[in-house]
Amino acid sequence: MACKQIAALVQRAPISNLTGIQGAVNVQGADQKKLDVVSNEVFSNCLRSSGRTGIIASEEEDVPVAVEESYSGNYIVVFDPLDGSSNINAAVSTGSIFGIYSPNDECLVSDNDLELGSSFLAVGYCMYSSSIIFVLTIGNGVYGFTLDPMYGEFVLTKENIKIPKVGKIYAFNEGNYQLRDDKLKKYIADLKDPGPSGKPYSARYIGSLVGDFHWTPLYGGIYGYPRDKNSKNRKLRLLYECAPMSFIVEQAGGKGSDGHQRILDIEPTEIHQCVPLYIVSVEEVEKLEKYLA
């Protein structure tokens, strides 16, 4: 429901004056766009009205929020309601990412952190693009649905998605090249080397994790958001961006790494913790890990 509502808001954004910034800055220092705020409300309201959610943690909230007792259940949901929202002004792809944790006595909420004693029950993302694509796993394979605008329903269009082990697409922000360490520069330079085949890797980058990621499971390759010299560039969050995407990727036979270890093995220490992310095809991610070793 939340994704359908956000899809409609995104598509009508220029008409309803929902482009541009809202005026506030979120806890991570990013300007909140109008649609960041509205999408966060939409997601939170849907989760609250489900009667099943106990705690929600969002990119747009400083701390985890407990759902009022009269409405609450005990699932824990983490989400980024509108990923890549800077793209909205130009009508370029954005997405929503969410992860649902099972109820667990070890789930604690304090002022600034959430301790998760269990793994994901379900994870999904929705991409708002030329089609609205909803990708979901409940821990047994990955399924893709397309929103049929004629009927307002998500229709199963890709069953049991499997990620190619190799692929020649790379999605990195090339503008940050000079901020990267030498091992990573060497890796990227080698991707661009045509070699004996005469075919270098192809670059794809639109500045939305969901949009950039969605390419690679189809064709194989690697998405990377490294830790740069400018620490402000370490912007992908473990809890509601890197971990959910890694869970999906593993369900589809791929790999998610911070360059040295599996993303899903990292213990979260704070809600908005950032980690480097290298994700998608197993052999491409392992090749990168060798360069960084």
Residues that bind ligand AHM (CB under 6 A): 30, 59, 80, 83-85, 173, 207-209, 212, 225, 235
74 or 176: CB nearest ligand AHM? 176
Q: Which residue is nearest to Mg ion (CB)?
A: 83
80 or 250: CB nearest ligand AHM? 80
Question: From the list Mg ion, ligand AHM, none, which binds 228 (C-beta under 5 to 8 Å, kind-based)?
Answer: none
29 or 198: CB nearest ligand AHM? 29
83 binds Mg ion (CB under 5 A): yes
| Binding region for Mg ion (CB under 5 A) out of 64-72, 76-84, 220-228, 268-276 | 76-84
Question: From the list ligand AHM, Mg ion, none, which binds 184 (C-beta under 5 to 8 Å, kind-based)?
Answer: none
| Binding region for Mg ion (CB under 5 A) out of 21-29, 79-87, 181-189, 217-225 | 79-87
54 or 212: CB nearest ligand AHM? 212
CA dihedral 246, 250, 256, 257 (to 10 degrees): 120
Q: How far apart are CA 223 and CA 284, in angstroms?
A: 10
212 binds Mg ion (CB under 5 A): no
Q: CB 51 → ligand AHM: shortest distance, Å?
A: 28
3 or 107: CB nearest ligand AHM? 3
Question: From the list ligand AHM, Mg ion, none, which binds 30 (C-beta under 5 to 8 Å, kind-based)?
Answer: ligand AHM
Question: From the list Mg ion, ligand AHM, none, which binds 208 (C-beta under 5 to 8 Å, kind-based)?
Answer: ligand AHM
Q: CB 272 → ligand AHM: shortest distance, Å?
A: 11
107 or 169: CB nearest ligand AHM? 169
Q: By C-alpha distance, which of 137, 72, 142, 135 is closest to 100?
A: 137
Number of residues counted as binding Mg ion (CB under 5 A)? 2
Instruction: Give residues with Cβ within 8 angstroms of 197, minimum separation 6.
Output: none
DSSP per position, the chain: -HHHHHHHHHHTTTTTT--SEEEEE-TTSPEEEHHHHHHHHHHHHHHHHTT-EEEEEETTSSS-EEPPGGG--SEEEEEEEEETGGGGGGT--EEEEEEEEPP-TT-EE-SS-EE--S-EEEEEEEEESSSEEEEEESSS-EEEEEEETTTTEEEEEE-S----S--SEEE--GGGGGGS-HHHHHHHHHHT--TTTT-PPEE---S-HHHHHHHHHHH-EEEEEPPPSSGGG---BIIIIIHHHHHHHHHTT-EEESSSSBGGGSPP-STT-B--EEEE-HHHHHHHHHHH-
80 binds Mg ion (CB under 5 A): yes
Q: CB 235 → Mg ion: shortest distance, Å?
A: 8
83 or 250: CB nearest Mg ion? 83
250 binds Mg ion (CB under 5 A): no
209 or 285: CB nearest ligand AHM? 209
Q: CB 275 → Mg ion: shortest distance, Å?
A: 13
Positions touching Mg ion (CB under 5 A) are 80, 83
